[in-house]
Amino acid sequence: MARRYLVVSDLHLCDVEDHPDGWKRYKRQSYVFDDEFAALLDDFLAAGGDEFTLVLNGDIFDFDLVSAVPDDPPFPVSRAERRRGLDATAAKSRWKLERVLAHHPRFVAALAEFLARGHEVVYVLGNHDREVHFPAVRAALEAALQRAGAAPAAAPPGFRPRFRIEEWFYYVPGELYAEHGHQYDYYSSFRHLLAPTVEVGGEQVVAVPMGNLSNRYLLSRMGFFNPHTGEYILNIFRYLAHWVRHYAWSRRGLVVPWLWGSLVVMATLLNLKRKLLPTPATQVAGLAETARRYALPAETTAALWGLQRPPITERFFRIIREFWIDRLLIAVLMTGGTIALALVPIPLWIKLMVPLSSFPLLYFIYEWLARGETIFSIEKKLPGYARQIAALLPTQVVTFGHTHVPRLIPLDDAVAFVDTGTWAPITRPRDDTRLAPGYHKYLVVEPGGARPCLKFGCWHRTA
């Protein structure tokens, strides 16, 4: 039997917003790719084969980008939620998913049609769609697929579409290992991936990591940055240029959302750190269930789990550095030192030379000593993690997403690593009205023989 897999990741489907000034341009209607995705599925099926599996490898929906709230909410909504979006509870996450699905009916219909033909869809959760962990959210997704026709009209009694959700990875022995990849990135990893909720105010809330919180509390209120790229990582001079270009002549703000959002994120992370210290029994049970489902020895499952990195909450200094709080404190200290030197009775040359020479020298020494990982470090590390996974499990392909950097790297003669990039709207560096080339990637795997047949393609609209 000829089996074929189609793997895509990082679609980052969210609700649609159109603003004339370019605010949140990544949510424009013109960037919706539902028709292109449907055409990709048709092309995949047209190539022939006996058994087809679509692997949605994480971050298919982006709950962190949904900042809208219902007009007449069936649940309490705080003032903070009205500014930044709903919390990650079961009821609120379900509302967010239903809003996204309503904005992407063609995508839902394409999945439903694929399932109605009897093929399989495997949804591996990432970090931005971890709220699908809630049974109520899963039920909403499955109900939407059913309404769109996932079950054919002539389906036999008891027919259920072959749709499954994997919270960690999807594995077919000797053929394919698919995982989103965020667990190897301490900005985006979950302390307890298989039990990702904590109790807050009597409700279970997904303990989203720093990367997610940054999107919710900072980038959603700094909407001239694209959260799908690293364009918001700038030096002080480029931040000033960005402010002049987008904010100086508008009524939108940058400094206050950045400062207040950073403080909120840090406070949230510290609160979560305390709540996440004990390991839940559901996490232990989830590991055992994963081992049972894939017939893996407990030692192999433990070794796979041991590759993952603890979240950045374990390293508070890195948190304050990522939000530039350390640079802000240094600037305050240097300003205060300059004022203090101006007020004391010392020679003028000392008052001038210390701020102009010693302070900058101390700052550069600090920056050299404080160097460490950045959000881009994971790009270099993922192939190494893929190699370790291939050493633990027999497979021909290890595929991740998460980094948004598409690439195919042979690990040895018989195993390949593929990062499937993203379908999110990434625009050209100097023209934010046109999409950059090289994205909308997909991977087709036809296992068999000593080496699999791989097709790593790019699907763009033809018009």
In a domain, 87, yes or no: yes
Residues 242 and 360 in one domain: no
| Last residue of one domain, picked from the residues 337, 369, 401 | 369
Residues 105 and 232 in one domain: yes
In a domain, 396, yes or no: yes
Residues 120 and 192 in one domain: yes
* CB atoms near residue 401 (< 10 Å): 31
Is residue 234 a contact partner of residue 169, using CB atoms and an 8 Å limit?
no
Residue type, 121: V
In the structure encoding, which two tokens stand for residue 356, read together? 């102009």
In a domain, 108, yes or no: yes
Q: How far apart are CA 150 and CA 160, in angstroms?
A: 9
In a domain, 411, yes or no: yes
Residues 188 and 207 in one domain: yes
Cα dihedral sign, 40-139-268-400: negative
Q: How far apart are CA 44 and CA 29, in angstroms?
A: 26
Phi, psi dihedrals of residue 6, rounded to the nearest 5°: -115, 120
CA 86 from centre of chain: 18
Residues 159 and 66 in one domain: yes
Residues 14 and 68 in one domain: yes
In a domain, 188, yes or no: yes
Residues 154 and 271 in one domain: yes
pLDDT at 461: 54
Residues 73 and 136 in one domain: yes
Q: How far apart are CA 228 and CA 422, in angstroms?
A: 9
Count: domains in the chain: 2
Q: How far apart are CA 415 and CA 412, in angstroms?
A: 5
Strand partners for 29: none
Residues 182 and 71 in one domain: yes
CA distances from 8 to 132, 219, 262, 290, 423 (A): 18, 25, 32, 22, 9
Q: How far apart are CA 197 and CA 207, in angstroms?
A: 5
In a domain, 67, yes or no: yes
| 290 dihedral zone (left: phi>0; alpha: psi -120 to 50; beta) | alpha
Residues 258 and 231 in one domain: yes
Residues 196 and 345 in one domain: no
Crossing angle of helices 135-147/105-116, nearest 10°? 80
Q: How far apart are CA 58 and CA 55, in angstroms?
A: 9
Residues 266 and 315 in one domain: yes
pLDDT at 154: 64
| Last residue of one domain, picked from the residues 369, 401, 425 | 369
Q: How far apart are CA 194 and CA 192, in angstroms?
A: 6
- Write out residues in the chain with pLDDT < 50, as ranges: 462-463
Cα dihedral sign, 389-393-395-401: negative
Query: 104 burial class (0-12, 13-18, 19+ CB within 10 angstroms)?
Result: buried
**pLDDT tens-place string over residues 146-167:** 999 877 766 667 666 789 999 9
pLDDT at 1: 57
Task: Give the residue carrying structure tokens 């839902």.
Answer: 108
In a domain, 463, yes or no: no
* CB atoms near residue 48 (< 10 Å): 8
Segments forming the whole domain that contains residue 332: 324-369
**pLDDT tens-place string over residues 217-261:** 888 888 788 888 876 666 667 777 777 777 877 778 777 887 788
Q: How far apart are CA 131 and CA 61, in angstroms?
A: 9
